[in-house]
Amino acid sequence: QRKNPFSSDDRLASKPAHTHRGDPTYGRPPEGSQTEQRGKDAHSHVGKEVEELCLIIRNTGQVGEDGHVSVTFGQLFETYVTISNKVVGILLRARKHGLVHFEGEMLWQGKDDDVVITLL
């Protein structure tokens, strides 16, 4: 509608057409919008799930020689799947933030049950 010469809506003409990659607002929802708030809420929710996962690893795992708590993926999956069905996604997020370590790019139920997950 911004480029439509027949549009009489002045609100659209006042906004920039689009942002560019160098712009700090590029790829971000408008500040103060409901979309921005939903994103913040989702980020907070995932953060809580990561904390809960770390707590479960601490409670179900065993302390190793290096002082870190470790658990196998199979054991963690059986424990955590009753809480949430997103165990692999939450594990990947926790690894991205440097909270856990495990070998491999992705974990699969059954195939990777013996993979050790270490709480950092």
Helices of type H across the chain: 10-14, 34-60, 73-80, 87-96
**pLDDT surpassing 90 at residue 3:** no
The pLDDT, as a whole number, for residue 1 is 53
**pLDDT surpassing 80 at residue 5:** no
Residue 43's Cβ-count burial label (10 Å; 0-12, 13-18, 19+) is exposed
CA distance 94 to 74: 17
What's the pTM? Answer: 0.70
When the pLDDT of each residue in the chain is averaged and rounded to a whole number, the result is 85
Structural tokens at position 28: 């971000």
The pLDDT, as a whole number, for residue 113 is 92
88 contacts 105 by C-beta, under 8 angstroms: no
- Regarding the domain delimited by 32-117, which CATH topology (the fold level of the hierarchy) does it fall under? Arc Repressor Mutant, subunit A (1.10.10)
- Percent over 70 (pLDDT), the chain: 85
The pLDDT, as a whole number, for residue 85 is 77
**pLDDT surpassing 60 at residue 46:** yes
Q: What is the mean pLDDT of residues 22-40?
A: 87
